[in-house]
């Protein structure tokens, strides 16, 4: 079918210009683009600070900030500075932060026992933000990779990441995080059945209102490298994660993963990575009509930040365009390291 045959049928009567109605010059698409106010009126998708989630990295110490070399502009922050950053997020209108720990290598172990420590970094940071009385959501990752001596998201037995034993460990981790005051638990491990196990434990433990944002479609991606630097896992990882994270070539499988997680009690779902997987974001959001989030991951951030430093791309325009792409694809919100910069810029524009 030609493009012309898909257009609305032209009126049989010609316009005063002699052209059929529905064609140039009767239709001039640029009329709606002629001025900022006109473009604002007809905008199909919008981006605001309320669409952003700010991922932060927590480190031990006080008044301490350590730059992440592979993520220009991103720092690991001690708990006291995490609280200050959360205050900034509130002032900027950012509704939630996601906390990830940089675990002392001496505290990593094969059984990831630091994940179950009620006084670990993310639990301390969560309690500190809550004690500050801040009206902001706190999202905690449920996965073992920041705590294992082998860098995997699950427990390793021989050469296998074991599923059911890992689920039992994830339940322990989730309960510790819920007790610390986390508003949203975000299982990112990709074990089968972990959403049902965590939801059941939350219900039994009196945490019926704790939300689950499932990393339902998490791909075995090459874009995670800088994140692993940020949490200190890069040097520990043995092998790869392809037996539990998804094949980048699959999209039907993503729909099945999302369907399973929703049936098991997930309140929201996530696609990760982001920009290279906008087709998956679109399919998930259109198929399930549930809150669907995407993560603009560390590798995406690092590529753009490097181009900004080189002067190859306009930082402000490219940053906003990249984030708007998520909204256009159907994302309810975006986890992005650009969150504070983008929020400040959006606030200044309006």
Catalytic positions = 218, 272
Phi-psi label, residue 241: left if phi above 0, alpha if psi -120 to 50, beta otherwise: alpha
Closest listed residue to residue 147, CA positions, set 83, 102, 85: 102
Q: Is 137 helix (H, G, I), strand (E, B) or coil?
A: strand
> From the CB of residue 276, how many other CB atoms can be counted at a distance below 10 Å?
15
φ, ψ of residue 53 to 5 degrees: the values are -120, 130
CA 325 to mean position of chain CA atoms:
14
Sign of the C-alpha dihedral, residues 237, 243, 248, 249? positive
- The CA R_g of the chain, rounded to the nearest whole Å, is 23
48-87 b/e with 16+ CB inside 10 Å = b?
ebebbbbbbbbbbeeeeeeebebbbebbbbbbebbbebbe
| The two three-digit tokens of residue 46, written as one number | 């919008």
75-77 and 65-67 as β-strands: parallel, antiparallel, unpaired? antiparallel
> For residue 129, what is the enclosing H or E element?
helix 121-131
Torsion over CA: 156, 100, 141, 209 (sign): positive
């Amino acid at each position: 079918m030609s493009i012309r045959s898909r257009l609305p049928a032209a009126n049989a009567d010609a316009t005063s210009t002699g052209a059929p109605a529905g064609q140039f010059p009767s239709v001039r698409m640029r009329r709606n683009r002629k001025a900022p106010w006109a473009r604002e009126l007809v905008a199909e998708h919008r981006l605001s600070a309320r669409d952003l989630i700010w991922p932060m990295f927590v480190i031990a110490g006080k008044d301490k900030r350590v730059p992440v070399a592979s993520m220009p502009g991103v720092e690991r922050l001690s708990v006291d500075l995490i609280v200050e950053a959360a205050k900034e997020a509130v002032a900027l209108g950012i509704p939630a932060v996601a906390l990830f720990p940089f675990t002392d290598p001496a505290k990593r172990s094969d059984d990831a026992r630091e994940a179950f420590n009620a006084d670990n970094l993310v639990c301390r940071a969560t309690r500190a933000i809550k004690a500050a009385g801040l009206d902001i959501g706190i999202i905690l990752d449920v996965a073992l990779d920041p705590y294992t001596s082998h860098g995997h998201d699950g427990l390793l037995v021989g050469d296998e990441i074991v599923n059911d034993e890992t689920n039992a460990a994830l339940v322990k981790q989730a309960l510790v995080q819920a007790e610390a005051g986390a508003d949203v638990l975000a299982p990112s491990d990709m074990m089968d059945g972990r959403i049902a196990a965590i939801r059941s434990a939350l219900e039994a433990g009196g945490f019926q209102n704790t939300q689950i944002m499932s990393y339902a479609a998490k791909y075995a991606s090459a874009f995670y490298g800088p994140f692993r630097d940020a949490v200190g896992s890069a040097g520990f990882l043995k092998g790869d994660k392809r037996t539990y994270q998804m094949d980048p070539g699959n999209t039907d499988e993503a729909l099945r993963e999302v369907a399973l997680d929703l049936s098991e009690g997930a309140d929201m779902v996530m696609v990760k990575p982001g920009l290279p997987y906008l087709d998956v974001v679109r399919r998930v959001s259109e198929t399930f009509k549930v809150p669907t989030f995407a993560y603009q991951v560390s590798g995406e951030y690092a590529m753009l930040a490097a181009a900004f430093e080189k002067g190859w791309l306009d930082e402000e325009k490219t940053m906003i365009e990249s984030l708007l792409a998520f909204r256009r694809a159907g994302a309810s919100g975006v986890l992005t390291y650009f969150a504070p910069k983008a929020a400040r810029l959006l606030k200044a524009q309006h």
